[in-house]
Structure 1
Amino acid sequence: MSELLISQLPGAITFTFVIIASMAALGMYQMEGRQDFEGILLRLLPSFALGFGFITLIFYLFPDLYFGRGLLAIVMLLALLLILFIRLFFFRWQGLDNLRYRALVLGVGANAGELFDLAGKSPNLSNFRIVGFVPLDKESRHVPVEMIIPRTGSLISLTNQHNISEIIVSVQERRGGTYPIQELLECRINGIKVTDLVGFYERECGHLQMDSLYPSWLVFGSGFKQGSLRTLIKRLFDITASLLLLIVTLPIILLAALLILIEDGRPVFYRQERVGHAGKPYMVFKFRSMFNDAEKGGKPRWATTDDPRVTRVGKIIRKLRIDELPQIINVLKGEMSFVGPRPERPHFVDILSAQIPYYNLRHSIKPDITGWAQVRYPYGASVEDAIEKLQYDLYYVKNHSLFLDFIILINTVGVVLLSKGSR
């Protein structure tokens, strides 16, 4: 019996990994969407359909992993029912209060108001629960009165009284004698976690909040690691991922080229100058999705939703991100990475660099085919959107790793399948 279980272990591990990856790709691990029976089931079924397709392909390529058609059907059904039951148990019946950490916010100003709004967007899905806000002197109130906890004693006594595990510091002005640095240190020594706004948003939202970012945090904080070994590993990953993508999508590339040629003639591809690593310009390769005279005035323009310059074929290949596939050439040439910040045109880089602090930090690593901003934020075509996407780009620059690259690739599958962020 034990030998039989051991022989099935590789197939079981493969099945588990594929199902988890498929659920991640279709957003099952993101804190959004309905969490009732119908909402969970409607997202779970496509995830399992995608997983079934991938597992069938893997079993075809590696027949030694296959554990039988009947057993596969039983395992798929059991996994579907168990995941559905567990999610309903936690999200609908049990709730997540016992699993979320209890936070106390220091400050009641505008930043505290944003934290209150963030917690209110998904009260049952967030990792944290704000117990209350502790006011400081000379602060205008941006949170409800009923959420304010008066400072009748020290901070450590308040944390003990309300069973607090973390203090979030929302005030940025730390001069004038009202900032309780000694009390925060006492809390820290007694095992209470103390977090500033930038660190909180980085952990909970996956981006660096521009309004709360300050130079010393960037200089003295963790992350932003570079090195020859990391560069080598990323380069090997880029080459491997690009060659695999080229092999898998070659029929799609040939079909897209033929359809573009039929609809609007040559050229099938277009080359456009972009700003790359260390601010150096290079020429990016893409499928042409606009008419030949799209920028006949010579001045670059933001792409917009339902852009009239886009051809019929162009609308399809943009929605499915097929227009990005020729950038594999740029990756193999070493001008781009498979995962990273999206490259922008010099005209827009000059505008954005002049208006947005820290914008050029995104050029400290190679630009990408796909990236953290692409899977976390919809397509943008304005300075405001560029600021939002920069927050995710800076998170990636600070925390980029091979594991994060894998997470982004898995989420990219969901973005493509669900046509998220297409323009």
Structure 2
Amino acid sequence: MRTPGEGTSGGGASAYRFGAWRGSLRLRLTAVFGLMFFVAAAAVLIVTMVLVDNSMRYALDLAFPGSYGFDPKLPSSVQQYLAQQQASEPATQRVILASMQGNLLLKGGLAVIAVGLVATTAGWLVAGRLLRPLSMISSNAERIAGRTLHRRIDLQAHPGEVKTLADSFDSMLDRLDQAFAGQSRFISNAAHELKTPIAVNRTLVEVAMNRRDAPVEVQRLGENLLAVSERHERLIDALLTLARAEDSLTELLPLDVADLARSVLTASAAEAERLEVTLEAQLDPAVAIGDPVLLEQVVRNLVDNAVRYNRPGGVVTVRTGRGPYGAQVAVGNTGPVIAEHEIPVLFAPFRRLIDRVGSARGSGLGLSIVRAVAQAHGGEATAAPRPGGGLEVRVLLPADGPNARPPHRR
């Protein structure tokens, strides 16, 4: 399976840079400025050549009248010389005109090219100066989108179109910030209101089950109710994790994904042994910057899914390491056969991998949480079926954190 950007570190980066230059507004403005100057300069040069040609023809007509009044008293040799001069005047005029035109075209063309290069360079600098506020807006918008909605562009510039654009963007951020804040408050309140009655119900069921005179039917009913309550609690926790992953990250720390995977494998060893699943790990250092709690939840969801949706005697492989653009973790299992076209569906909320064989275990949010957390960190989560059955999910995390530019994807 190819991770985003894997195998294209040279060509992909070059294509990305070429695409960025090709779509650069500054480059296009400079090209327009330069083209307009060369067209205007060529027109001026042509008009100049026409005017100079007319002026030279007028001057040559005055210098070479074309006819001489011969004095019969002049010696015959002089008269013969004047006749030869009169006959050669048209050729002389043509030579003078051709020399003038060639000289003007050569030196004028060189002057146009030299001044055009200077003008194009000046156009590049002027375009950069004019577009600097837009670059500031773009960079600030990227930082705001990557980290938090509490920051604003607050462009300090004279009133104009760019200032209006920045102020409008700030107004939109205000409304988005209020909307996300309201959503976070609603999620927190809803979680509290949902978990409190579930905890109360769990306590009442446990008290009823622990009574000395509780019949066997009550014991069985209590076990079923406790299992349902536990599933509801896991669903609420998964929804909270998904909502937090899709919101802005608040705690970013340097960490090693290999340490997180090692901790998760230790906690999952008992469950894997109970289900007769073998855990295999190759944990190479994978340093990244992110939220430790959310990233540990990512690894935990991947390992839990790989263990839960496996076959007896199956294997779960966990590998961490350094990828082309950052840290990566890959978790695979030997579960049921999965078709390639079913992969995108697995990342949708409330879609379970094992639904096709009739099991209702899990909340169906595991891979949705994995992808949401990866994207919140500026990375990506991909999956591919394994030969013979099973799935391998790979998570790529930029080494420089969520604000790093994502790798070019073809």
| Coarse TM-score class (shorter-chain normalised) | under 0.3
| TM-score, scaled relative to structure 1 | 0.23
Bigger relative contact order, structure 1 or 2 (CA pairs below 8 A, ≥6 apart): 2
Q: Which structure has the highest helix share of the two?
A: 2
| TM-score, scaled relative to structure 2 | 0.24
